Amino acid sequence: MSQTVSIVMPTKGRVELVRRAVESVLAQTHGAFELLILDDSAREEAREIIKLANSDSRIEFVDRKGVGVSEARSQGVHRARGPFLTFLDSDDYWADRRLERHVEVWENNKVGLSWDVCTETGGPPTLARQPFHGGLIEAPKVARKLFLGNFIHASSGFTRTGFAREIDFSWSILSDWLLFMRLAESRGAFFINETLSFRSVEPSDRVSNTYSDTFFFKESSKVRRGVIWANPAVYVPAWMERSWSRLRRKMRV
């Protein structure tokens, strides 16, 4: 499956949004892909998603049997058959050249991670601003910036399947942030400064809306502790920068 991109998409209900996401995949100018739909929908909605999956031989429906989003992503990574890997949240969608642009980057650069601009639709923006200009970025700059806060949306990251399999990212609901940090620790990264991914703000049942701010604070703290423990040489400088920045803000108050 030369140059095939494996797309991992966890789903649960919201059939019309899933349909839009699938249509954006089928419209890709890079047609060498497999789309793994890991579904946890109720029976009637699952039937509709199965119909979508049966519409193209490059789509595979997988009953994820109640596991969470992080575990579903991990399952997808280990089921993937293509050399390249990307996530697609079921309420997101892509520009038609997205896969083509990322494959071009990987053909011409030795990196561990690439990502593009994700634009939000249907509501006020909530995503973090990009801290880099477009192009190649040496390691571990991206990992350290990610430690300070996630600026790569799940559906805009791209890597090699083998690289993702080296990392256990299933233990946190913030699995995409954790994975992208670890990918960029010792390998360069490439930022495609183009809007190629789109995130819908309006769905009230987004996974992120089912957890409190306190939960996310605790979970992000756990992720930061985990990566510092795994690779202190990379993340202790970022932790010191974060701590010093907090201290300066308190002093100004």
| Helix (H), strand (E), coil (C) string for 83-126 | CEEEECCCCEEECCCHHHHHHHHHHHCCCCEEEEEEEEECCCCC
Sketch the domain layout of the chain as residue ranges. 5-248
Q: Which residues contact 168 (CB under 8 A, 6 or more apart)?
A: 74
pLDDT, residue 204, reads: 58
DSSP assignment of 194-222 equals: EEEEEEE---TT-GGGGS-HHHHHHHHHH
Decide if 147 contacts 230 (C-beta within 8 A).
no
Q: Which fold has domain 5-248?
A: Spore Coat Polysaccharide Biosynthesis Protein SpsA; Chain A (3.90.550)
pTM for this entry: 0.93
pLDDT, residue 232, reads: 97
The DSSP code for 38 is: E
Which of these, 181, 123, 120, 125, lies nearest to 150 by C-alpha position?
181
- Per-residue pLDDT tens, the chain, 253 aa: give them: 479 999 999 999 999 999 999 999 999 999 999 999 999 999 999 999 999 999 999 999 999 999 999 999 999 999 999 999 999 999 999 999 999 999 999 999 999 999 999 999 877 777 889 999 999 999 999 999 999 999 999 999 999 999 999 999 999 999 999 999 999 999 999 999 999 999 988 755 555 555 677 988 999 999 999 999 999 999 999 999 888 777 677 677 5
Residue 18: alpha-carbon gap to chain centroid: 16
Q: Which residues are paired to 195 by β-bridges?
A: 117
> What are 33-51's pLDDT values in tens digits?
999 999 999 999 999 999 9
